[in-house]
Amino acid sequence: MDVLIDSHCHLIRTTRSLIAWGTTLHVAVNHLDTVPVSVIAEALAALRASPLTGTEEHHVGAPHRLWDVASQIAARLRSAIPDGEPPSLGVIYILALQLMARADHAALLAAFERVKLPVGAAAHGGEAAG
């Protein structure tokens, strides 16, 4: 829970906006999608050695497209670590929040702007498909 609170406060300070908890998770996963897979793999190894994962789930009301981005990150990790245990989406979310808490302001603002793009827009600043 603390990693979500820390990340949420970091994002609010960065954007100077009051935002929903689900938006924080969406921005975190969007930011994680820009992180090199080697860095994500290192964070995954550290997370598996820590007590941050468990059986309790919390729902924060994030948009449906969050699942798509998180699934793509999990697929990248499976390709990079073919012999490793594939991460669950819950683990991807925790990794995203952990790395977001350490992200610089420019990276967070860029991720925040990307999640505000309308559905159908390209992830890297493209225009919405018409």
Count of helix runs (H) and strand runs (E) in the chain = 6, 0
Is 124 a domain residue? no
- pTM beyond 0.85: no
For the cut 60, the answer to whether the pLDDT of residue 123 exceeds it is no
- Residue 22: name the closest of 2, 1, 4, 47 by CA: 4
Q: Is residue 36 part of a domain?
A: yes
Whether residue 130 lies inside any domain: the answer is: no
DSSP state of 86: P
Which one-letter DSSP state was computed for residue 128? Answer: P
**pLDDT for 33-86, tens place per residue?**
999 999 999 999 888 877 665 566 656 666 778 888 999 999 999 998 888 888
Distances (CA, A) of 79 to 34, 67, 73, 75, 126: 16, 18, 10, 6, 27
Instruction: Please tell me the total count of domains within the chain.
Output: 1
Q: 97-119, pLDDT tens digit by residue?
A: 999 988 999 999 999 999 986 65
Residue 81 domain-assigned? yes
Domain that holds residue 35: 2-51+63-115
